[in-house]
Amino acid sequence: MTVADLPKVELHLHHEGAAPPDLIRQLAFEKKVDLAGIFRPDGSYGFRDFVHFLSVYEAATSVLKTPEDYGRLTTAVLEQSAANNVIYCETFLSPDFCGGGDVSAWREYLHAIREAAEAAEARYGIILRGIVTCVRHFGPEAAKSSALCAAETAGDWITGFGMGGDEGKGHQGDFAYAFDMAREAGLKLTTHAGEFGGPDSVREAINDLNVVRIGHGVRAIEDAALVRELADRQITLEVCPGSNVVLGLYPNIAAHPIQTLRDAGVKVTVSTDDPPFFGTNMRREYEMLEAAFGWQADDFTQLNTTAAHAAFCDEDTRARVLKTLEST
């Protein structure tokens, strides 16, 4: 068995960001929307930089208009994940895109997504859980609507609350009300930080939002005291090496700080972020890490065990995931 064949736990995946370009093109055709501008001649998504990536992402998402579209998206995403031997996955879902922040519309989208996820679990054995995610550049008021959607549907399937979007806009603390509401509803918390923001954004995430995981967080490496704090507080980083290279944070995987963070005792995990946008998938991430750092099966098993322990699911589900990892 190669490392790419190992069973995998993925904690950081944006639902729309995992949409195969063919599905988005098909939906654009059905809805008569002209999306030609977002694709490269070879059919992949095209963008210049992070801010342009976010606008291409939102253009692609604009053809996902109904709960049924999200059901089709979920099926396509989980087929891809299962083909990469992902056994457990957490996906970021935004009520802003699924019903415009309205709770009853959000419930309909969620129903369609869960139905497709149950069918995929029956077929491939893959387990999916949802993290409701607000979008930073949509602002704190929209985040409150998302948090209300999250609180109303919190349970064994919606298990977390998070934030993505443009780290250049505002501060983590501007979203404290939304995160407090989600925490009070029993949800576990994560936020994107230390991707395009520096170490200070990671500090703000820990101090102002009280998150237990951080999306990316890799720029913590620029501050030794912060790295020690992450290790001491056992905060898990959802690291997406391929995404970071394509978006220009590091010139290549060998220059990525994941190895140094791991050596410093920080809990690191590996995910794809928005795989078709970044020309990646979980197999490819493992192959790149093997090539860059010589990681072997034991290293990846440790990575997946860390991810299973940091997953936002209930304890029965965690035990099932750990059992599958142990038996491989």
d(Cα 272, Cα 125) in Å, to the nearest integer? 20
16 binding Zn ion? (CB under 5 A) = no
Query: Which one, 274 or 290, has the nearer CB to ligand ADE?
Result: 274
Point out the catalytic residue in the list 10, 16, 90, 195.
195
Minimum distance of ligand ADE from residue 201's CB (angstroms):
12
Q: Which does 129 bind (CB under 5 to 8 A by kind): Zn ion, ligand ADE, none?
A: none
Which residue's structure tokens are 């791991």?
262
Is residue 195 annotated as a catalytic residue, yes or no? yes
Yes or no: say if 206 and 233 are a contact pair by the CB < 8 Å rule: yes
273 binding Zn ion? (CB under 5 A) = yes
Restricting to residues 145-164, name those near ligand ADE by CB under 6 A: 164
Applying CB under 6 A, among 61, 201, 243, 271 the residue interacting with ligand ADE is: 243
Kindly report the CA angle at 237 between 70 and 193, in degrees rounded to 5? 75
Determine phi and psi for 299, rounding to 5 degrees: -65, -45
Query: Which one, 67 or 164, has the nearer CB to ligand ADE?
Result: 164
Question: What pairing do the DSSP bridges indicate for beta strands 158-164 and 188-193?
Answer: parallel
12 binding ligand ADE? (CB under 6 A) = no
7 binding ligand ADE? (CB under 6 A) = no
197 binding ligand ADE? (CB under 6 A) = no
Query: Which one, 8 or 216, has the nearer CB to ligand ADE?
Result: 216
d(Cα 52, Cα 13) in Å, to the nearest integer? 19
β-pair partners for 133: 162
Yes or no: say if 269 and 301 are a contact pair by the CB < 8 Å rule: no
With a CB cutoff of 8 Å and minimum separation 6, the contacts of 276 are: 17, 18, 19, 20, 21, 44, 45
Binding footprint of Zn ion on the chain (CB under 5 A): 273
- Give the active site residues: 195
Binding footprint of ligand ADE on the chain (CB under 6 A): 14, 17, 57, 164-165, 192, 195, 243, 273-274
